[in-house]
Structure 1
């Protein structure tokens, strides 16, 4: 059933019901008023007839014959209306005028009372005339007279109820259509969104009906979540394909090398020194494969990160912890750090740790000098609405032409022990956290600056050129020699 039809049905039932209940209440009040008014008029007429009847009973007026008195009495008693009067005088014939019930009549009634004769109900009042009850006067009126007026009122109430039913149906349809108009508009907009060409359309929230606008806002939020889920699903599929393609391509070379080395191990003439060299190569290739798989997995997880899960974390604590761990991991590196007591940002602690770890590992491996020592400087500070992390080393540096391409996946120089994905991971996580990363100008060595919005600041629009968006065509050939340094 349509909502407007429900409105019409509700109005068609409720309006007549209210009218009927109100009519019954009014009918009861008016019936009580009619009965009270009848008794009052009967009493007033009785008081008006009493002097005339007293004169007749006392015979003080010689010209008042029974015929003349009967005419006057009937005219005064009924006034042209229903009912009649009965006068009883001791020693004479009773005098009756008008419509009267069958006698005998009760005496001594206090005020108006009812009398039933031959199936008819009468209302009467009576009064004693003269001393000792020598004469008595009764005034009657049939109850049917007031009942007829009451039935007429009841018919009018029923007629009003029927009219109210029709008015209720019409008003229900009109008001129902008016009331559900915002819902009907919302329904049409929702049906239009289902079209493939309008999936980005959203429901209007300007109907000025609070409930409808709140519902439209909720639906829009659900649609946004659906679109985000669809986008994440698409990204997941693309990530899976890219992961499979990249893993297959990158693993082919070390696996081929490991196969050749394993074949050499079966050679009967292989001396122990050569065998040890082959085993060392196998261990190195195995470590390279593990690093590659770890990096690819991190990239795949990062592409599916949901910003709704970000919380406030202390970047200063993350940097300090990462510096201590790097000192133990790379004992040949001397690291000096300038970190404030606290610097809150919104993000994911694991992703921020990936940024700092890869920058420090990159500087420790590629920033080593001729004597194998690496001097690294780490600075973290707040600049306006940004938290700025700078990592400097005293290595050979990166040529200006390669300061952007170093962030591409699998970009590494000849002889690099890394996977070519370290700085790719850094840019990915920085972008997901609403920041930016650049290779800064420096006379010697390399300095990489990372800017992240501090907690409460507005994140910048993410860089659309993530590693996944550039998975085909923009990265250099795998294994191509490139001057400069890269993350492990």
Structure 2
């Protein structure tokens, strides 16, 4: 199966565009929050300017006893400068009005009371003006420059709305410019500190994944001391370790293939030699009769060594095929192959319940019991009758949510060298000439089933515990 090739995203399709878009969105959001008080203050200032002109007109009205005596040109200039259709001045219960010669009848009239200066009222008025329908008339109320005086202006709302829209467009353009400049500045800063190093790491990971055997692709870390620097150094160390491990694995694989071929041919040669030794053992020559058993034993050991090496390579490469399996017959078969059934001196007991069914690979799991039982038999046979009643047994126990299968004997126990190198291939043998592959195979098979194989700590004999998860048990 070919690995899917990953493609590094473009400069503006990965983190870059996300960073720029995020910065601009945050700045624009802040500008929106700032915009509402700003447009409210703009509207208030605009209306205050109109009121100030109205206050000037009110002073003129206050100085003249008869408003009707004012020249029409003067009143028109006052109205035009204020942008109003009419100005009303109220003081001490009296009202004075100036308006154009041809007064305009207002349509919808709304009131803007500039005596209320709280922020919420100003913002509500600004939003109301921005989204107002056309043709509305604005009634502006404010205090005069004298005590108990009041000025009122009546004007169209359209000029105010147009000025507010123009101001909003200016704010929008300035906000976009600020957002763009800030985003670019922050992007350049973040690119040098974060995005470019991350893209460099990403390119290296993608390239090294395609060719991990190429030492030139191992990352050269920078001298940074922050998190990016730590990632670079750890990635470089990991790639170096992976490169070394892959080279070692390749060498071991080539060496293992050669050893397997040699071992296979050696096993065939030793088998032929064993057949010849069996024929020689039938001769009546006393010297032959004395040497033949030693020759047969030596050949058996050589064949067993060759077979164990082949079994080790085969067992470690095969995945378990899980099926419901009765455990007691599996143990009986393993005991028979380990030559414990019918043994002249060693007693074997299978204490596994008849109804225990596990979801395991029967062939591989049988190898576990075969190796453990064979080791137990050989340990007891090495005593040469020193133990009055040598015995091997397989028992079942439970520890919490785990199932514990124990293979035990009452033999001499494991020597210190075997304990120190337990489960290490070619190192953990308990007898001279052994390979130590039996326990290594048993451990790997047990771990492949989700369990673990451990040596129990006890003063006499040897006991190995297979700790298996409860989910392997098939309910009866």
With the length of structure 1 as denominator, give the TM-score of the two structures: 0.45
With the length of structure 2 as denominator, give the TM-score of the two structures: 0.46
- Bigger radius of gyration: 1
Which structure ranks higher in relative contact order (CA pairs < 8 Å, sequence separation ≥ 6)?
A: 1
